[in-house]
Structure 1
Amino acid sequence: MKALTWRSKGKITCETVPDPTIEDGRDAIIKVTACAICGSDLHLLGGFMPTMQSGDVLGHETMGEVVEVGAENSRLKPGDRVVVPFTIACGACRQCRWGNWSCCERSNPNGAKQAETFGYPLSGLFGFSHITGGYAGGQAEYLRVPYADVGPIKVPAGIDDEKVLFLSDIFPTGYQAAEYCEITPEAEKTIAIWGCGPVGLMAIKSCFLLGAKRVIAIDTVPERLALAQQAGAEVIDYAVDSVQDRLIDMTDGRGPDAVIEAVGMEAHGHESMLDTLASAVMSKTTSMERPFALNQAIIACRPGGIVSMPGVYAGPVNAVMVGVLMNKGLTLRTGQTHVQRYLSPLLERIERGEIDPSFIISHRSTNLEDGPALYEKFRDKADGCTKVVFKPHG
């Protein structure tokens, strides 16, 4: 089969690789009908994630048709149409029973290695390095789905793939980030969001679904700012305005009640003196991520507010304003998304017509051979590229 593979930092190729096979009785094999490039896939392209190996199949936003199931999987059958969560969970460990699906204790076969860094094993992830399990991803013609009797959600006939594909990751991720802000219609909260990429845009929509009074979105890419406005947000271009000054002005000095940092490890923006100094020191010692957006969000949030952080980080982060976080009495909430928790309720919202997540798609292809060029286009934000979807079988 054809698949997009990681070769080295900055190099992704379309290759012919072996078809997946059933390896466990709970497995399923799906024929991929739609898959997408995620912003966190760009971290792999940029070489920011450790333990990637040449030839690894990429992709964790995937859906398709079941073509084979293991002997112990009575939940699925060939012909079922499913969306696959990017988090792989066993459904039986204590974390799964608590609903903390991204903290599954059993689904990462390399969990012992991961625990050396994180203290404990976490859930396996599709197409996202060997420290998260080394699972082949779904930017391919076929995908093996472990624990397929737990994770995938069946999709009713009559709903287009593009409307439900993002249940695999970015819609639940944006929704969880918004939910962490403790939004209710009665609270009339103002939420500020850093980053109008796919997760940030889903967070905007989710804030309004939950009853936010106002959403203010921060970015500088014109196409992303336009989509944020279309989603109902007021916008700030951080390359033009002082974000803090504009937020103070827009909220009559009160500040946002909660902030969402949807950028992560590759944030770019105006460096503070503290960021500059720390970066200079750290460059002589070790490689660390630069939390420009996170620090802006911490400063901008009103005292006693909430900082929600769906933005992905891989390792140490230099010069996070922990003192500001502590002295302002802020609550920080973060983590990989517990996708399985949100699948059914968000599918119901799509079915009721409350949201159509396909609004973010800018580029489509029926040929995985286009993948390397589209990765670069998405990375460079060229040609108005906000989201790429592949339909490998046409």
Structure 2
Amino acid sequence: MKAMTYRGPYKVRVEDKPDPTIHHPNDAIVRVELAAICGSDLHLYHGMLPDTRVGHTFGHEFIGRVEQVGSSVQNLKVGDRVMVPFNIFCGSCFFCARGLFSNCHNVNANATAVGGIYGYSHTAGGYDGGQAELVRVPFADVGPAVIPDGVNPEDALLLTDAFSTGYFGAQLADIVEGDTAVVFGAGPIGLAAARSAWLMGAGRVIVVDYLDYRLRKAEEFAFAETINFGQVNDIVREVKKRTGGLGADVVIEAVGAEADGHVLQHVTSAKLKLQGGSPVALNWAIDSVRKAGTISVVGAYGPLFSAVKFGDAMNKGVTMRMNQAPVKRQWPRLLEHIAAGHIAPSEMVTHRIPLEHIAEGYHIFSSKLDDIIKPVITVA
């Protein structure tokens, strides 16, 4: 098969790799039709996550058709068109039984926190991802779902991570009707969180970023007010000015490890190749939320060596909630919203790039060229 492979920092290419095979009776092999590049893939691309091995195939957002199933698979059949959550999970452990699919205890021997993730280095289990013609899907009876008739394939693709994660971020924020929600980050997850905040009952949504084209997208797609933090003297004071001096009722932090490098990484993190991320956005969230408000964190972080203002958060009585999104848990409600015409996740897609040109896609996305928001990789 043809597959994207990692060759070192800022170096990816499409190569021939052996077709994946059934390793366990509950595996399936999926022929990929569409995949995507996620902002968190850029941490891998930049060589800033540990144990990202040469030859690894990235990609945790993909849909396709079932080409082969193991002998124990009962819920899928060859030919089914499926969307596959980025979480790999067993469905039966302590955490899966409670819907915490991203914290599955049985799929990642290399970590005690996150479960398995497709295409996300050996720190997330070492599973090859979906930026390829074929991918092995473990636990095929509990992860993938058949795409309902009439659902736009790109809408389904965006539910495998980006939109589901943004929606989860709005859920974690415990928005009360009429709340003012501030979203830090206008990438796909921030845009999805801002759009979803309205579905939760927000009375006002403000999106903060530094790229004008992403802020324009936040106005068009998420119907949000916007602030370019590069054009104000103090973003915290600006947020408080716009919220009657109190601060936002809820803040959703969708920046994470700041993959674009706009804020310099902590030197220790860079030297150790651990893109844990600068705490700038997280500290802005702590300072911008009102007393007794809620902060939801869905931005992706690694090990974080820099100081976070936990003392300020404690003294303000702030509630902080965070996790990797258990995306399949969000699908029933999101599919209802899509069917009702309330959302169309595919409206975030700006670029469609053939698999053979994926290296150029990574360059465009990493460098924020051509007003890129969300790149989709066409495979089939």
The aligned counterpart of 1:309 is 297
The aligned counterpart of 1:83 is 83
Change in Cα spacing, 1:282 to 1:76, as seen in structure 2 (3 Å) is: closer
The aligned counterpart of 1:24 is 24
* Alpha-carbon distance, 1:140 to partner: 0.7
Residues 1:206 and 2:206 are matched in the alignment = no
* Alpha-carbon distance, 1:330 to partner: 0.8
* Alpha-carbon distance, 1:282 to partner: 8.1
* Alpha-carbon distance, 1:4 to partner: 1.0
The aligned counterpart of 2:357 is 370
The separation in 2 between residues aligned to 1:105 and 1:239, in whole angstroms, is 42
Once the two structures are superposed, residues 285-333 of structure 1 have per-residue CA deviations (whole angstroms, 9 ceiling, x without a partner) of 9966311111111111101111111011111230111111111111111
The aligned counterpart of 1:233 is 224
In structure 2, give the amino acid aligned to 1:329: G
**5 Å matches for 1:1-394?**
1-108=1-108, 111=109, 113-114=110-111, 120=112, 122-185=114-177, 188-230=178-220, 231-241=222-232, 242-266=234-258, 279=266, 289-365=277-353, 367-393=354-380
* Alpha-carbon distance, 1:121 to partner: 5.5
Q: TM-score, normalised by structure 2?
A: 0.95
CA contact (8 A) 1:61 1:86 kept: yes
CA contact (8 A) 1:48 1:314 kept: no
Moved more, 284-293 or 12-21: 284-293
Instruction: Structure 1: give runs of 5+ residues left out of the alignment.
Output: 115-119
Once the two structures are superposed, residues 196-234 of structure 1 have per-residue CA deviations (whole angstroms, 9 ceiling, x without a partner) of 001000001110111111111001112210110112110
Change in Cα spacing, 1:41 to 1:286, as seen in structure 2 (3 Å) is: closer
In structure 1, give the amino acid aligned to 2:227: I
CA contact (8 A) 2:82 2:145 kept: yes
Change in Cα spacing, 1:157 to 1:283, as seen in structure 2 (3 Å) is: closer
The separation in 2 between residues aligned to 1:311 and 1:165, in whole angstroms, is 19
Give the aligned length. Answer: 376
The separation in 2 between residues aligned to 1:57 and 1:7, in whole angstroms, is 10
RMSD of equivalent CA atoms: 1.9
Q: TM-score, normalised by structure 1?
A: 0.91
The separation in 2 between residues aligned to 1:61 and 1:368, in whole angstroms, is 14
Change in Cα spacing, 1:151 to 1:270, as seen in structure 2 (3 Å) is: closer
Instruction: Structure 2: give runs of 5+ residues left out of the alignment.
Output: none
Moved more, 193-202 or 322-331: 322-331
% identical aligned pairs? 43
